[in-house]
Amino acid sequence: MMGIPQLTAQQIAQLSGFVSQYITAKRDKFLGQCVPLTQEQRTAMDGFFSPHLLDGVRVVNLNPLRVSNPSFYSMLAEMGFRNLPDFSQMAAITFSDVVVSHVPFTNGLLFHELVHVEQYRQLRIPRFSELYVQGFLIGGGYNSIPLEVHAYALGARFEANPRQRFSVADEVANWIRRCRY
């Protein structure tokens, strides 16, 4: 595939480790700037996510600042990667239970990012990182990563009918059980 070099199992494991370290470092960096969800946000998300998840998640809007791309991107560019996602252009990024946004939160954007919080909760950072890297490599880019595909699909379901509650935890658990990630 164009822009996706073939990596050895050892390189994939190393890259997954880099991603895991990046997520942990960014979570720790931004945590002190974050706030809990507002009551309005909690009400909109209630019934889709557990109260425990909604209590624990923290959010911050960085605008006009931007999240920087990982330092290991230069190494990946040297290896031949040409289609790496640009973090500064993303609406929001989730680092475990910390959601960093570049734009004001809409309910749709928040829902998508909370799906990732639930994925992290069930998978933990190392496994999430591994699946994200594998999904990128197998699918050929960001839009084909199963973790993203699922978050976008659940987000579309939410936006189509925000009053029709469903358990995101159950949906994520089902994808894990069926090895869909």
pLDDT, residue 179, reads: 97
User: Could you read off the pLDDT of 159-176 as tens digits, one per residue?
Assistant: 999 999 999 999 999 999
pLDDT, residue 165, reads: 98
Q: Give helix 107-139 / helix 168-177 axis angle, nearest 10°.
A: 10
pLDDT, residue 1, reads: 46
Residues of the chain with pLDDT under 70: 1-3
Token pair of 46, please?
A: 């209630």
pLDDT, residue 3, reads: 64
Q: Which positions ≥6 away from 119 have C-beta within 8 Å?
A: 128, 147, 150, 151, 172, 181
Residues in the chain: 181
CA separation, residue 19 to residues 15, 36, 105 (Å): 6, 25, 25
CB 98 within 8 A of CB 34: yes
pLDDT, residue 143, reads: 94
CB 49 within 8 A of CB 168: yes
Distance CA 80, CA 102 (A): 28
64 backbone dihedrals φ, ψ, rounded to 5°: -95, 0
Q: Which positions ≥6 away from 113 have C-beta within 8 Å?
A: 92, 94, 99, 101, 151
With CA atoms as reference, report the closest residue to 30 among 69, 63, 58.
Answer: 58
Distance CA 125, CA 23 (A): 8
pLDDT, residue 39, reads: 98
Distance CA 136, CA 149 (A): 11
DSSP code, position 92: E
Q: Which amino acid is at 154?
A: L
pLDDT, residue 161, reads: 97
pLDDT, residue 119, reads: 98
